[in-house]
Structure 1
């Protein structure tokens, strides 16, 4: 291996050696502890230390870095106390996740490190969001993100590269090409000769580096980062290296030809660099011994500290509380000046006033800029706020949601518009596995609102008509809002944007231009978790939300003899079950109407909770009314039959006569 010593000063060469030696010695100790059963799992980076150490050393301490399983050198080069890492790997309290996640699945704002999730791909989009925030704040910073050669096959990789290229984001995409994705060799994973070539398709600068040569890694990355800070743009780096141990220790390396292992063992980044430094008289055997003894002493001391730490206490109250970041709701009242507007106008007005109120709020979505969105909710926003804050996105929902997460990590709020709620399925993973879990896992919040134009009744067929709130109400960590009236839509949207937790904000397309209401012209908020009692009566309790509220109103108007409590839930997570219990205890009968298909919907949970908590007050079985358990059909008569509007009236009358 050829080292160019003149590219890096001698003091830095010595520091790089020490920084590589430390994770190697830690790993050797961890492999012993793994065999002793004192840690549960280990992903070895032995032989790849030059990449982690070289990249981290080239970054400034306040620049974010997003590592993977095999990047222990990132954490040690950022000088995280070893006992905290050891506690993390043992699931103890001094770790970073309170025992809720393992190994390197954590982040820390203190050290500007954002760990990966097992789904790998989303972190690339998160890096986009972090870099976008720096760009918006005029920070001359670089964000570095790691992936393996296997991860380059994921759609998130391509989406993230495309966004970074289109937006000129200063992201350093680092591919550790280590030969195998678990047991699958590279020739079964991609056809191109070099992964760096993938950058060409995105109009992106790319380079191939010898990943086991610490001086080449550090010098080249340092040079590239300095250039990126001056001229923000993404750069793709492919580091050629090899994984000397199993994907994780239990999997072994039997699938790897011994000759290949022998070849790469000769390229050991630490052994070779050590020999070079000895030849150059920068290092001596005594100094090597001194370095090792210092590291061994630190490892032993911090291991004792971590082992002496007690196991995590089980505190169910704390577990439930930490799912969401605390939100100090501020009630902001409106004045008396109102205007009769449509629900779509209320959403637009609420979003615009929030943009005015929060200078760090960015909206993103397909066609939302000059075009104003397919429903024209953001029409005129570019003129008011500029294209930095009103951003057209490529058609890549997963990376956009991930980028919203990255914006939040770097202190920027965002509202993402799904062009149709149906399309969230292609961004489902980062919603339910990243946004929803991030606060519970390591105390970071996701200050993200996802607007969801939804609903049937307009002959749009299976892919533009779903009301898919139940995908998210069952996912801890998400809040779900579903207004039925303009007044509620405006106030609840303002609260959603103020809330530091991720919110799915459903807007029924069928209500956009058909429902009018007098709405205050100024900014105001409405609380989550408080249902609205629209009608009062002694006969029966009717619970609904969204368009279902208007079907229920129509049915009650057409049947004035029915005296019902009509409850509009307004928010589904949190849900105002107290309002439902109070009403059911009064009326003795409950019917729940939802537009979503029946099985597994919100109505099922309401029914179960009422049966568990109000059984002795019921005079009849709880009734759920919903759409058919089929996809949503296109033809008008089929769609009408699919929806529950007519069936609701029949079931309402039947339940009253039970």
Structure 2
């Protein structure tokens, strides 16, 4: 049978052509086997890439083995081309311990540092920003390496896609953005997804180079991507590649293809990349039937043999200690204790000094945020940093919180620490998905640390209104995998921020902006840590326990001193991990407890601490646990409204009522 497709192979050896064929045949045969196992109920789900193998193979073989690639569901060829042992893939798909994620992820939702792959993220968009971070690390390390990342045509409608392209273009990052335009996003045709002829045309708006490639022609894919990759390694820049192809099976097997017109299926069936290339090789006498059979039999034998090995692995067993211990990476770095030498600093200066000393301690630490370079940030915390550390490490970012948080994660994949300044903590909503679904889950999913700190200027009391005044720690402390810190004093801010930067886990670091220039104290001059999970008992007393954090600490101090209340005053400092031991010991002593937070009351940290006290110290209580927080409204602008929104005027009354109970 003559191939209806044209292959320009003059620049390729016969050995390379056979390698391309074998590389496409292997994932096709694996998929055929997986579809059988799916029908037998031996795997739970399958996203078929049949008919799209040429893209995965051509791109992966164009990359060097130590260059990262971020595939999607239908890129099995990426994994097989990186020569991952099939037994590990099969174990992964069966939820076995011997897979890549200890049974915690399915199909292709896993990564591996060994094979330089960051696995599929269901939200699609974050992959692109992560690729930027990996590529940025390659630039900072002068490796002359690139990164390739896949998305489908559906994913190009997400904001993260546009943010990632913009950042990559502005920063000249060596990323190949690979769009597999396969006709449908689940059942939605491309005519209902975008209103342009080619997705590659979108590159024009970002000042990016782009190419359209026949995604069913493995020779075209390999040769064109290989040529582009060589150029990008020499002249770093992002390139947008649109591969025209088609998804001949359902989004996943349960979906089916009833929504696809039969004539369309027939048209693309005739363009099958494997069958056409096989026919071409035979027409050119590069491949004969006998060798073809030998190649196929060898692959089938490998599949069956490796599958038997994977099947023999025992079913995974549940171990609660192992599950809990894998939520966070080990953070047992050597604590540096404060020196006796001190100087008076404002809160804002202590934060700045912690960043400065950390930049010196970690020569590759990167700071990112809006206006943080020459301008020094809206609160001037990084003023002068550019002159000292350069723009490669102190990076102004476009207004795209999501992509920059993803970039921070990508840096972590390459072993580089980062600190991201959210201009106001309110703006983290624009990057919420990568925080709770990427940073928080990464170590549990595949053992990859998210070594980044998100600095969160927060809080009311400065007349900034609903968009700039929230204290939104409740959005994060319930998400396993995140650490949440909220200092109230300059010395704590400096020591805790240093700890946060050394900690290999993602840390949400709240800084109350009302405290920036209103609170000052003597702060140790040298670099030091304050450990997480250790509350500070600011005042000892016998009548009542007051648990609080952030700006509320200062409100409570004023009331306790003015009313001469004998109180244990506990400044939590660290919300996750939480120092329950100190809280419980105090409650057992005083028998009365009030918890004060600036956040609106319902669903906040005070509620969780109250529940913990009730569960663990009920027999010691002489009165109900009391909670005080802000009104259940957004933060208002007017000073009169804001003063009454905050709980300041309600704390004293609540304490007195509790003492009289």
Give distance in 2, aligned partners of 1:6 and 1:109. 36
Matched with 1:54 is 58
2:134 pairs with 1:124 = no
Give distance in 2, aligned partners of 1:57 and 1:537. 69
Cα deviation for residue 117 of structure 1 reads 1.4
Q: Secondary structure at 1:7's aligned position in 2?
A: coil
Cα deviation for residue 335 of structure 1 reads 2.5
Moved segments of 4+, more than 4 Å = none
Cα deviation for residue 329 of structure 1 reads 3.4
2:648 pairs with 1:645 = yes
Cα deviation for residue 520 of structure 1 reads 1.1
Matched with 1:613 is 616
Q: Deviations over 1:157-216 (max 9, x none)?
A: 000000000000000000000000000000100001100000000000000000000000
Matched with 1:598 is 601
Give distance in 1, aligned partners of 2:166 and 2:659. 58
Cα deviation for residue 521 of structure 1 reads 1.1
Matched with 1:488 is 492
Cα deviation for residue 10 of structure 1 reads 1.6
TM-score by length of 2: 0.99
Give distance in 2, aligned partners of 1:334 and 1:639. 38
Cα deviation for residue 343 of structure 1 reads 0.3
Cα deviation for residue 5 of structure 1 reads 1.1
1:267 equivalent among 260, 264, 271? 271
1:421-432 correspondence to structure 2 within 5 Å:
421-432=425-436
Q: Is the 8 A contact 1:329 1:527 kept in 2?
A: no
Give distance in 1, aligned partners of 2:285 and 2:140. 47
2:633 equivalent among 630, 633, 651? 630
Q: Gaps (5+ residues) in structure 1?
A: none
Matched with 2:377 is 373
Matched with 1:418 is 422
Give distance in 2, aligned partners of 1:425 and 1:127. 21
Matched with 2:302 is 298
Range moving further from structure 2, 8-17 or 366-375: 8-17
1:277-296 correspondence to structure 2 within 5 Å:
277-296=281-300
Q: Gaps (5+ residues) in structure 2?
A: none
Matched with 2:355 is 351
2:37 pairs with 1:67 = no
Q: Deviations over 1:41-71 (max 9, x none)?
A: 0000000000000000000000000000000
1:319-398 correspondence to structure 2 within 5 Å:
319-398=323-402
2:569 equivalent among 547, 563, 566? 566
Matched with 2:254 is 250
Q: Secondary structure at 2:515's aligned position in 1?
A: helix
Q: Is the 8 A contact 1:7 1:215 kept in 2?
A: no
1:505 equivalent among 502, 506, 509? 509
TM-score by length of 1: 1.00
Q: Deviations over 1:88-120 (max 9, x none)?
A: 000001110111010000000000000021111
Range moving further from structure 2, 114-123 or 59-68: 114-123
Cα deviation for residue 494 of structure 1 reads 0.4
2:201 pairs with 1:197 = yes
Give distance in 2, aligned partners of 1:195 and 1:171. 17
Q: Deviations over 1:261-312 (max 9, x none)?
A: 0000000000000111111111110111001000000110011111111111
Aligned length: 657
Q: Secondary structure at 2:652's aligned position in 1?
A: helix
